[in-house]
């Protein structure tokens, strides 16, 4: 029975990985987006752990400082009671001192461990953020290449269409003929104006020669 379950499990896993591979081949950007969303969730989890660890480290620090302060206080009180000959008071203060001293040592060790764990979490958090940023950049690069591939594919498809190509070239020919006609009209108007002005000048000169003015 165990072998049968293992075979079923392996078959399901193989089918699942094959499905992922097929999805990646068909739409790598979609699969990358899925990976990014999962990574973002993991990064957010670590961020919350860092915050909690930071608060815990602060709490250990406060408790340690409080215990250390009471340790010093009870030690001083025990010394005063001993010098004053107050044995019961000295005994009580000494017991308090020992308890606070042990608590202080324990809290100090816990504080240092919490600080070390916080450093480790912060380093891992920064590493995860860098990796996530690299994945964002990778996605932009893939999207750029995908856009170029699609653009080239569409341009090749369009240019391969004789109908579009013929229409395009006929449109260009029509525009070129229009520009030629426009240029011809401008040139004709220019030359006509030049000829008219020149003839008028010649006529004026001829009249002046035929009827010279007398001084």
Every domain of the chain and the residues it spans: 9-160, 162-215
Token digits for 21?
């591979």
Mean pLDDT, the chain, integer: 77
Interval 32-89: pLDDT, tens: 788 888 888 888 888 999 999 999 999 999 999 999 999 999 999 999 999 999 999 9
Q: Are 18 and 26 in contact (CB under 8 A)?
A: no
Whole-model pTM: value is: 0.52
CATH T-level fold of 9-160: Helix Hairpins (1.10.287)
Tell me the range of 5-14, 102-111, 121-130, 166-175 where mean pLDDT is highest: 102-111
Distance from C-alpha of 190 to C-alpha of 81, rounded to nearest angstrom: 123
């Amino acid at each position: 029975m165990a072998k049968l379950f293992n075979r079923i499990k392996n078959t399901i896993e193989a089918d699942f990985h094959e499905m992922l591979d097929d999805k990646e081949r068909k739409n790598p950007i979609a699969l990358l987006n899925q990976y990014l969303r999962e990574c973002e969730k993991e990064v957010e989890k670590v961020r919350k752990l860092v915050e909690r660890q930071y608060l815990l480290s602060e709490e250990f620090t406060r408790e340690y400082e409080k215990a250390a302060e009471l340790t010093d206080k009870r030690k001083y009180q025990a010394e005063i009671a001993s010098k004053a000959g107050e044995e019961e008071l000295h005994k009580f203060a000494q017991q308090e001192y020992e308890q606070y001293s042990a608590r202080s040592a324990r809290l100090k060790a816990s504080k240092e461990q919490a600080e070390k764990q916080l450093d480790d979490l912060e380093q891992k958090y920064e590493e995860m953020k860098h990796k996530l940023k690299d994945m964002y950049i990778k996605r932009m690069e893939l999207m750029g290449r995908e856009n170029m591939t699609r653009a080239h594919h569409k341009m090749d498809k369009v240019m391969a269409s004789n109908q579009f190509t013929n229409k395009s070239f006929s449109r260009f020919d029509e525009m070129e003929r229009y520009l030629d006609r426009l240029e011809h009209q401008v040139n004709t108007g220019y030359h006509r104006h030049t000829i008219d002005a020149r003839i008028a000048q010649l006529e004026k000169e001829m009249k002046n020669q035929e009827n010279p003015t007398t001084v």
